[in-house]
Amino acid sequence: MIAELGLAALWLAAALSLLQLVSGALSVRTSGEAADEITGGALALIARPAAIMQGALAAFSFAMLLWLFVRTDLSVALVAANSHSAKPFIFKLAGTWGNHEGSMLLWVTVMALSGALIAGLERRLPERTMQAVLAAQGFVALGFYAFLLFSSNPFARLAVAVPEGLGLNPLLQDIGLAFHPPTLYIGYVGLSVAFSFAVGALLTRQVTPDFARAMRPWVLGAWIFLTAGIVAGSYWAYYELGWGGWWFWDPVENASLMPWLAATALLHSVSVLAQRDALRAWTMMLAVIAFSMSMVGTFLVRSGVLTSVHAFAVDPERGSFILALLAIYIGGALAVFAVRAGAINEGQRFNAVSREGALVFNNLMLTALLGIVLFGTLYPLLTEAFGVRVSVGPPYFNPVSAIFALPMVAIMAVGPLLRWRRDRLERSSKPLVLVGVIAIAALVTALALGAGMLSALGIGLAAGLAIGSFAPLAGRNILRVKLATWGMMVAHFGIAVALFGMASDSAFALERLASLRNGETTTVGPWSVRLDGVEPVAGPNWTAMEGRMAARYKAGEPVIAAPQARTFFAPVQETTESALITRWNGQLYAVLGRQTEPGVWQVRVWWKPFVTMIFLGGILVALGGLLALIGRLGVEARQRYIRRRIADRRADEEALA
């Protein structure tokens, strides 16, 4: 009965998305006097409650699926294929979205709740634009409901319940992966809101600073979650997959990086539109591209065209469905853009040497980076279509992306020092010289320590950006600096910290593979690692051989590391659980390998200087976005309060007169 309730709620939510689409579209089509009559009447009154009810029903449907997984209801095909009665509770929950159907239901639920939030909270847009936005959001949601109901039903019953489930992919049975997908999906789906805003504004020709101020918090919110999701996923891949690297340029990793690059460009562009009424058409185009990249990523992960450790579904039929949705949404949006772009001018002009000019330059660099990652991800697929198998990895991505990333970082250090509209570099000469001197000093130091030129450039630019990030504080009262400005500075500083970690890890990481008996020692960098024994241990649904290693940093006290080689029994699969020892200047990364002969074990250890800066930098970037969001919302709330007070006072004065 629970499964049937969930499915019924899903059908009702789909029907409401259709109602939302029709009512919103009819409201937009009317004009003039009729528009006033209707938008203030029944049609306009339908779209908002339809969106809110749709969100509630989708959430109810997802709650029913959660319940089925918690109960391990093995009469439901999805639960039987992805759960097991012996699984820990947290991974029973995570199993809900650790598969194709459940993750798509989570996607639709987040999308429906986003639509409900827009309908319930957004009051800054003109009503006609609001109806167009809701219609676009209903249209996007309708396609995903169709995908779920006709191609990926999560509530399908088995003819006969099975006695036990097949379990969840052991690689996904990790606390990091329990929270990574929901975070990432909020970011992905948040970009659908930006897409709907852009379509709504194009249809009603309302691409104005007020529209941008309404759109900006949604873009910022999506970008924060996307950033947090990518950081969490990156750290999970680092410690769980045993790659020993922080970014593997895996196609699925790239699938989340591409929308982040587009969203970052969109975030800066919409800020320029909101504050300076410029880059109107460019902002609309970026909103379309950002959501397009979310759809491309979804297609790559679920179509089966890619082979990856965490791709969800190998099903070309479902992939074709998503490809059709991609063509409809993006093709339709681009058609609207082509028709309406002529009616949207670029707004206010500005000089090349200005803050807008710096933002445009970095937007172009981000777009170029996006193109490089997209090409490198799709190229193996294109060649395979012609019978040629090639792989594209770090030898392509690292140097080619650096061509665009390094100039972008340099401009990031300079841009916040410039004024809006027009400026002169001479005016900011002192802080610019300071940034340049520190960058060059760091570069020379890195070269002297043995770093390659590319890594040394990264370290130099990171040092310059770290100083440049807070240069806008010079000569200002810190207590009067806006929270949004603090957010910008913290986010830029986070980029500097992450870049420093990437460059340091690339330049100075060391690796050692050794075969050890009990009591024998190997060294890597400043660490010595002694194997003290290997013992069997057991968990709720796995057994493992656990190594006991005494790791000593230089002449310090030993720290125990306990890497494991696990064997899961449902499904049967072996995994490697690394052991990490974190210091302020990096991490020791230890992995226990196979037993090569009686009493001899393979041990692989890495010393990764400042690798933790990569993830700390990512957290700072997300934190900067959060500060900016709180600051913007606070300013808007204060302005609304002041306007309301003024209106009340005028009403009182008129009443007394």
581 three-class SS: strand
- Mean pLDDT lowest among 14-28, 68-82, 240-254, 308-322: 308-322
244 three-class SS: coil
Q: Which helix (H) or strand (E) holds 237?
A: helix 209-240
Q: How many residues does the chain have?
A: 657
End-to-end Cα, the chain, rounded Å: 66
What is the pLDDT averaged over residues 99-104?
Answer: 87
> Which band of pLDDT confidence, cut at 50, 70 and 90, is reported for residue 33?
very low
Taking the domains of the chain in order of start, what are their residue ranges? 1-172, 428-508+613-647, 510-611
Query: 201 is written with which tokens?
Result: 């504004």
What is the structure's pLDDT at 319?
72
Query: 335 is written with which tokens?
Result: 């058609």
What is the structure's pLDDT at 437?
93
Residue-wise burial string across 214-225, b where 16 or more C-beta atoms lie within 10 A, e elsewhere = bbbbbbbbbbbb
- 280's CB contacts (< 8 A; 6+ apart) are 207, 273, 344, 345, 346, 347
Mean pLDDT, the chain, as a whole number?
Answer: 87
Q: Let me know: does 620 contact 462? Beta carbons within 8 Å.
A: no
Query: 195 is written with which tokens?
Result: 């897409």
**pLDDT, greater one: 414 or 508:** 508
User: CATH code for 1-172?
Assistant: 1.20.120
Query: 603 is written with which tokens?
Result: 């041990």
Q: Is the pLDDT of residue 82 over 80?
A: yes
Q: Where are the alpha helices (DSSP H) in 509-601?
A: none
CA distances from 21 to 48, 241, 462 (A): 11, 43, 47
> Which band of pLDDT confidence, cut at 50, 70 and 90, is reported for residue 236?
confident
What is the structure's pLDDT at 35?
47
> Which band of pLDDT confidence, cut at 50, 70 and 90, is reported for residue 313?
low
Q: Is the pLDDT of residue 36 over 60?
A: no
Query: 97 is written with which tokens?
Result: 């979205």
What is the pLDDT averaged over residues 166-178?
Answer: 75
160 three-class SS: coil
Query: 517 is written with which tokens?
Result: 């008996």
> Which band of pLDDT confidence, cut at 50, 70 and 90, is reported for residue 245?
low
Q: Which helix (H) or strand (E) holds 429?
A: helix 429-448
Q: Let me know: does 501 contact 583? Beta carbons within 8 Å.
A: no
Q: Let me know: does 155 contact 4? Beta carbons within 8 Å.
A: yes
DSSP string over 245-284: SS----HHHHHHHHHHHHHHHHHHHHHHHHHHSB-HHHHH
Q: Is the pLDDT of residue 433 over 50?
A: yes
Q: What confidence tens digit (pLDDT) does each residue in 477-495 have?
A: 888 889 999 999 999 999 9
Read off the amino acid at residue 318. Answer: R
Q: Where are the alpha helices (DSSP H) in 316-428?
A: 316-340, 355-385, 394-414
Q: Is the pLDDT of residue 359 over 80?
A: yes
> Which band of pLDDT confidence, cut at 50, 70 and 90, is reported for residue 44?
low
3-state secondary structure labels for all residues of 40-61: CCHHHHHHHHHHHHHHHHHHHH
Q: What confidence tens digit (pLDDT) does each residue in 123-171 have?
A: 888 888 888 999 999 999 999 999 899 988 999 999 888 888 887 777 7
The Cα 102–Cα 42 span in angstroms is: 36
What is the structure's pLDDT at 613?
95
Rg (CA), the chain: 27
The Cα 214–Cα 133 span in angstroms is: 12
**φ, ψ for residue 558 (rounded to 5)?**
-70, 145
600 three-class SS: strand
- Mean pLDDT lowest among 76-85, 279-288, 441-450, 567-576: 567-576
